[in-house]
Structure 1
Amino acid sequence: MTPPPYTDALMALMHQAGIAELEKLSTVSGLSGWQLARIQYGLLPKMPVEVLLKLGQALQVPIPELVATLSEGSTLPMATPTAPVISLEPELKALQQEYERLQGQLACQQAALYERFQQEVLAILEPWLLQWPTAAAAAQRNPQWPAVKLLPLIRPLANLLQQWQVEALATVGETVGYDPQWHQLLDDEEADLEIGTPVVVRYIGYRRGTNLLHRAKVSRADASDDEA
């Protein structure tokens, strides 16, 4: 039985991609056997753009080259043209533009999903982010506490926050100049505190890039000295 006219061309592309069998191509591309059979009969240009994208990705072949190889007008060893070759340039150009548009859309969707994922994770971690640094500072001041042994276990999470560009505002116990944009006073009666007044960080805040996530909670520097 004579194989479909574009079987050899498809097998050649599969060989270049390191795919030996049609079953393997079906698994890699997500295309059904029926769709691959249609492709072998030269019907690729009539199939949905999604099929072109999947096949091109699986075979690692640009869409224009894929269409030119697996449709009428391609150069096949066994083919004997019986009619004038019709130019596919307009169709190929339109397919390439659609392919690039879908690639850009997919990249935007992936970036949006990743951003949403990070925000959801940070929301879950919010209580820990606000409380842990203060507890860790207390443990470091008291090396005999059993909890101090847990501090090295937090390094992987700290590295993750660094990769996500989450930055702490100062450190617990650090004296800084008061700035209401970045600092929240623990004592509401001191709401009239002047900008630049020395304050001590009690609970650190966070920012991500230029966006503020949480303001650092602070108190007057002289008040902390009295407590000490």
Structure 2
Amino acid sequence: MSADRSIYLKNHQLLLQLMERLGIASLSELSQRSGIAELQLIRLQYGLMPKMPIEILLKLSQTLQVPVDKLLTLFCPEDLQPSDLKQEDDSATRDALRQEYQRLQQQLEQQRETIAREFQQASLQRLEPWLLQWPTAASVAQQNPQLPAVKLLPLMKPILDLLESWAVEAIASVGDKVPYDPRWHQLMEGSAEPGEMVKVRYVGYRQGEKLLYRAKVSPAKEVEETGD
């Protein structure tokens, strides 16, 4: 049996054992899970791991749940095993792998944060009609407990908890009289100077210091005159 064939059979069996432990049935499935081309997995089985890019080793390590240094020990040809390398070279290789791993981990974390922000923004856009209309409807229901709608109020708690977990908070409450601030308030009618009292008609929202929707307000004097 040729040396190449012997290396292939040994590495092929090792890879199958690692895949079986995770319920991975084929190279094709391993390729899909890891994002590694099947050709690279075949090269691995022929003992070409030392020539594979570090990023591929890291992906394989994460998918198979095996540390990179152990993968090197398992799949490198015997003449390139870390125990046979110079200590300083081995240390430099491990440091390079560790630094690259940390860089990719940071990159992955940044991608996760970006995806989370995009998901929140998309969700807030879908919730916009409810965000703008529900507080006013809830205020009417609370003022008249005889209305059947009051029974629906507890059903909204999960949505309110979700918004709280995203640091989304209401700009005042319906009926509140607050100093007019054009940064956070939108006049529905009339006019008002900054600092003049206005009454909140529809709640606005912000996420930290980021404005999502301005609270819709009316001049307090005009509201008192019309009795709204």
TM-score by length of 2: 0.75
Aligned to 2:56, which of 43, 51, 55? Answer: 51
How much does 1:41 deviate? Answer: 4.2
1:199 aligns with 2:201: no
How much does 1:154 deviate? Answer: 1.4
Aligned-residue identity in percent:
47
Unmatched 5+ stretches in structure 1: 77-83
Check conservation: 1:64, 1:96, Cα contact below 8 A. Answer: no
**What one-letter code is carried by the residue in structure 1 that aligns with 2:162?**
L
Cα-to-partner distance string for 1:116-142 (whole Å, 9 max, x where unaligned): 111111122222211111111112212
1:142 aligns with 2:144: yes
- In the other structure, the counterpart of 1:190 is 191
How much does 1:27 deviate? Answer: 4.5
Aligned to 2:132, which of 130, 133, 142? Answer: 130
Check conservation: 1:167, 1:206, Cα contact below 8 A. Answer: yes
How much does 1:113 deviate? Answer: 1.5
Structure 2 vs 1, CA of residues 61 and 217 (structure 1 numbering), >3 Å: closer, same or farther? Answer: same
Cα-to-partner distance string for 1:22-72 (whole Å, 9 max, x where unaligned): 747975654688755643443222224443123211343332443244314
TM-score by length of 1: 0.75
- In the other structure, the counterpart of 1:81 is none
TM-align CA RMSD:
3.4
- In the other structure, the counterpart of 2:217 is 218
What is the rounded CA distance, in whole Å, between the counterparts of 2:174 and 2:148 in structure 1?
20
Check conservation: 2:204, 2:214, Cα contact below 8 A. Answer: yes
Structure 2 vs 1, CA of residues 22 and 89 (structure 1 numbering), >3 Å: closer, same or farther? Answer: farther
What is the rounded CA distance, in whole Å, between the counterparts of 1:32 and 1:119 in structure 2?
34
Alignment length (residue pairs): 216
Q: Which structure shows the bigger proportion of residues in helix conformation?
A: 2
**What one-letter code is carried by the residue in structure 2 that aligns with 1:132?**
W
1:23-172 maps to which residues of 2 (within 5 A)?
A: 23=25, 27=29, 30=34, 38-72=43-77, 73-74=80-81, 85=85, 87-172=89-174
